[in-house]
Structure 1
Amino acid sequence: MTVAMSQHDLEESCVPSPPPTPEGWTSHIHPRGWFYFYHSKIRVVTNDDIRTPSVLDTVEKYIATYPLGDLADGMELLIPHGPQPDEHMFSLIVNHKSCMAGYDLKDVMSTERMEADRVNKRRRMYWNYLERHPNHVPLPPNAEQEARDALAWFHLDNLKSGTRSTVPFSKQECEDLLDAISRINSNLSESSPGRTVFISWILRIIWSFRVTERYGQDTYRQWEEHYAQRIPTGPLPNPPFPVYIRIPLNFIISAVFFSVPRSYLEHIKAASQYHGRLSTVQDIWDQYTHRIVKEYQDFLLIATVLLSATVGLLSVPNIQSTSRAAGIVSVFASMGSMITGVFCLWRHQTNVKQSQSFTYLHNAHHGAFGLHGHALFLSLPPVLLVWGIIAFAVGFIAYTAQGLVGDSGTGEWDAALIALSISLLILLVVALGLYTFAGMWKTKRAQFQKVVQADRP
């Protein structure tokens, strides 16, 4: 009698069954997908596949040489990969009561008489271990509250310090994590591996941050000195230039470009500052691009209106050569402002990713023209627009002054004189206003920085 087998049964018969787990050991699958083994009687954890006889033999020989009797209650041992007998310095000792882990038994026994730096590092190692081996032990009872307290402080630091905050989570991330902890606490049991991994991941990042911040190691005065040295108070200082470069460069920036590049130089320096968190870098980059895009949009609108007005001036009959020449200059300046503005607007709008911001800032700092050259090119749209406005004003004043020369009648001469006088008066008032407001924020900003530095914690 012939027995027909289905394709599914045939495939199952061809797949070898996994070898059995050795006696005394329990296999655990991490939520991420990998597995590890735990022996509850001797309190040993291994990441090696002890279902293979040769690997099991190596692990048992290693365990036989290790003084497991020295481990106190609540401790366990993580065996290194491919252990060799008597190489005990590579074994990680884990103390679940003190929430510390280390390679020396003395470092995990108690936090008394231990330096804060060593405690911070042992805590970081513990939560790193528990994040990778969450199935066989419950989460320590104070872990969730510790995570909540740290996240609450991170949230407050974001509110107080803003972009100067160096905590590992942003304000929105702190809010999301606190909400997630509350939901997980109500939906999952205390022995849930997913809950253990989540809380351990948060605490690992917290203690990694505390290691770098010298948590618990300084007095307030010492911390204040370290904070003042670490946090920048303003844009990066200008690199020194030789005199033969600095003098013509300052002349070009101040006279030809009306000091506009100085503003863009401050913007690009502020965008280049790193405050300790990548999300802050992205926020600063978004603010920088938004500012550039908004300014260029305004410049394009004004340049379009100016171009239309200049074309209208050039179409007036019997216009003199001076007015015509100034009008032509205004047209080309307006067109230059529009062309560079549209191109820069397009490039800054399309390249908004964080990786693109790093490339942009690197090229701005290390390009052929340096930061000052980059600021000069960024200021081309407003500078060309200003020159276009000046040329248009010159052409219009020259057109108004046509009535003062030639065979004009008395009435035309008086009207031209009045119009010219009023125009010059308006130009004088505008120049005075520009001069006043050009230094207004600079003076107040310096005073404000003194107040902020005096009031800074």
Structure 2
Amino acid sequence: MSTVPLPAGGSGGKIPRVPSPGYDLGPVAESPISDHAVLGSSSSLPFGRSSGLDEAPIPVPSLPGDNASVPYNGGLASMVDSCNIPTAGSNTPQATRRDTDGGNAEPALPIICIAPFDVNCMKYLRDVFYPPDSSRSKILTLQPGVWEFKRPGIPLGWKAHECPEGKLYFYYKSRRLLTMIDIENDQNRRQIERAGDDLLSQLASMDAPDDAEITLMKTHHGEEEAIGYYVASMSHQRIFWFKEVEVSYVTNGERAVVSEMHLEKAVREQFWQHVEMFPNHRGLLGVAIRELKDAFAYGLCEDEINPVNTAAAARLLYSIYKERFLHFHGEAGARLDRKDSAYKADIRGPRSIIFNFILPLLFYMPSMYLEKLEGISVDSSFYNLYWSQFVEALKRDWEGSIIPATVLLSANVGFLAINSIDTTSPNKSAAQISSYISSIFSLGIFIVAQILSRRHLLFVNRQPQPRDMLQFTIAGESRLIGLEGVAVAFSLPTALFLWSAVAFIVALMFIFFENGSFATKVVMGVVIGFMGIVVILLLYME
């Protein structure tokens, strides 16, 4: 079951997950060969690609133990012979202060704490644009015999990596610094390296893991620029900072933290989002591969993998820990059912007086829609599968009202065309008035359906995104009667059709009972009475 949490601060820029077939990660072998993870296992990570090309699967190397590193290059189908595990000593990042500002007295930017989901939002903020005219290319000719292409302008010590999505990030291996900021710009590089020196000094003074890597991003703190950071460790699957921070840095305000083990799941969720954003310069732990394989075996992730993103392992583990945190996994009050709320005994809220008054006027249709809406969004978590099913059913309901309304409108036009009914007298008969009312209701169905379809076009025509569903919920709950009003709006096409049909039946009844014989009145009275009882019983049973 897939849920989309609705964070208090939004989760802009996330890639939609689409269903895909299950994958078998294969056995993870144990090998005592050396301290390095060496290729040779028959296991593979056959994560699909959207290019349509027949590409080789991603090999999973043999693993010497839980803390061995699996060479993983972010999903590029290539073979890696070995992967050096960072250890204490010569590989430990050193806080060596250098003259990074070229002798200029450039003030250092303040350093603040940020979280991986903050970096994920920054990742999608575009500030570089390219000319649309191909004649303005930076390179206009291709030299003969060129078979190697390089990226110029990378500062000494840094290495550029391409995310599977295409975003460029930079890694300083000897100092374990990461950033998505363009360090080809000298000012950016100086600011990032200066902040890195300060943070590495703090890292050296604490008992930190040997593989700790510092992520640095330029951001804003109030009105001024600042450098945001967090530290991540693959061996511990954790992120941390050098000072005390609020738990919202890892929970994003999505849930109240009820225990340390509950908090750990939020920390791991953020860690795996970090790995997803910076996937290419390190390996994966054997224990992480095993945990991912177990999750596949249990079937928790069959709909979570995104075939267009080859950094799928980190995305899956990020999703697993997000789900566990949101549903209080491992706690006494864990949520085991999608309609089970961790906050209250009944997900149904009290019905307002206005809503109860409107219900019979709309044939109790809003009640059905409201129950579905309340079941889809429980504890501020949207369930993608059930939301999609609800939207498809809603679309069918609206279409099912429009087609009969067209037939009913034609019947009213034909009814009014009868000479004995449609007279030129300004005093219209009761049958005429009822037919006019029925026609207006039929036309109202078209108008209402068009408005609702345009208003909810983004839900009807494509897979909804978390931001879309969040805005939908906030907009609905902020109105006069909240989601009850949304349910009333959704039920209008069907209710208007029923009222149109009732008005047309009333028009026929006036003709039958005004000008008909006694026998006609008795027969029609019995038939109409029987149908009325059936309709009332159906409404009562619903």
1:100 paired residue number = 238
Give me the whole-angstrom Cα distance separating, in 2, the residues matched to 1:365 and 1:340.
Answer: 23
Query: Which residue of structure 1 aligns with residue 249 of structure 2?
Result: none
Q: How does 1:285-300 map to 2 (within 5 A)?
A: 285-300=391-406
Structure 2 equivalent of residue 37 of structure 1: 171
TM-score of the pair, normalised by structure 1:
0.59
User: Which structure's relative contact order is higher, taking Cα pairs within 8 Å and 6+ residues apart?
Assistant: 2
In 2, are the aligned partners of 1:306 and 1:389 still within 8 Å (CA)? no
In the alignment, what sits opposite 1:75?
211
Instruction: Compute the displacement of 1:360 (Å).
Output: 12
For residues 142 and 525 of structure 2, the distance between their equivalents in structure 1, rounded to whole angstroms, comes to: 98
* Counterpart Cα distance in 2 of 1:130 and 1:387: 63
Query: Matched residues in 1 for 2:436 and 2:217: separation?
Result: 72
Return the alpha-carbon distance in structure 1 between the equivalents of residues 195 and 412 of structure 2: 83
Match of 1:238 in 2: 351
Match of 1:227 among 315, 318, 341: 341
**Closer, same or farther: CA 365–219 of 1 in aligned 2, 3 Å:** closer
- Specify the structure having the higher radius of gyration (Cα): 1
Note the C-alpha offset of 1:225: 11
For residues 242-391 of structure 1, what are the structure 2 equivalents within 5 Å?
250=357, 259-270=360-371, 272-273=373-374, 274-275=377-378, 276-277=381-382, 279=384, 280-305=386-411, 307-309=413-415, 311-312=417-418, 314=420, 325-351=429-455, 352-354=457-459, 358=472, 362=476, 365-366=479-480, 371=485, 378=493, 379-391=495-507
Alignment partners' CA distance in 1, 2:478 and 2:409:
27
Give % identity: 11
In structure 2, runs of 5+ residues without a counterpart are 1-138, 144-150, 219-227, 246-258, 460-467
Greater share of helix residues, 1 or 2? 1
Give the structure 2 partner of residue 139 of structure 1: 284
Shift of 1:203: 1.9
**What secondary structure, in the 3-state scheme, does the structure 1 residue paired with 2:280 have?**
coil
The answer to whether the 8 Å contact 1:45/1:77 transfers is: yes
- Alignment map for 1:187-198 (pairs within 5 Å): 195=310, 197-198=311-312
Q: Counterpart amino acid of 2:282?
A: V
**What are the ranges of 5 or more consecutive residues in structure 1 without an aligned counterpart?**
1-5, 11-16, 83-89, 108-113, 156-168, 185-193, 402-416, 443-457
Larger CA deviation: 263-272 vs 133-142: 263-272
CA RMSD of aligned residues (A): 5.0
Return the alpha-carbon distance in structure 1 between the equivalents of residues 196 and 237 of structure 2. 27
Shift in Å, 1:137: 1.0
Report the structure, 1 or 2, having the larger strand content. Answer: 2
Contact 2:272/2:318, CA 8 A, preserved across alignment: yes
- TM-score w.r.t. structure 2 length? 0.51
The 5 Å alignment of 1:394-405 reads: 394-401=510-517
Aligned: 1:435 with 2:540: no
Q: Output the amino acid matched with 2:444.
A: T
Take 2:335 and 2:304, find their aligned partners in 1: how far apart are those partners? 34
Shift of the 64–394 alpha-carbon distance from structure 1 to 2, 3 Å rule, reads closer
Q: Give how far 1:393 is off.
A: 1.3
Q: 1:132 to 1:240 in 2, by over 3 A?
A: same
Distance 1:51 1:102 in 2: 28
Question: Which secondary structure does the structure 2 equivalent of 1:94 belong to?
Answer: strand
- Checking the alignment, whether the CA contact within 8 Å between 1:102 and 1:125 is kept in structure 2 is no
Q: Distance in 1 between matches of 2:167 and 2:500?
A: 61
Displacement, 1:399? 1.6
Quote the offset at 1:344 in angstroms. 2.6
Corresponding residue pairs, total: 350
Q: Distance in 2 between matches of 1:305 and 1:126?
A: 64
2:435/2:503 contact within 8 Å kept: no
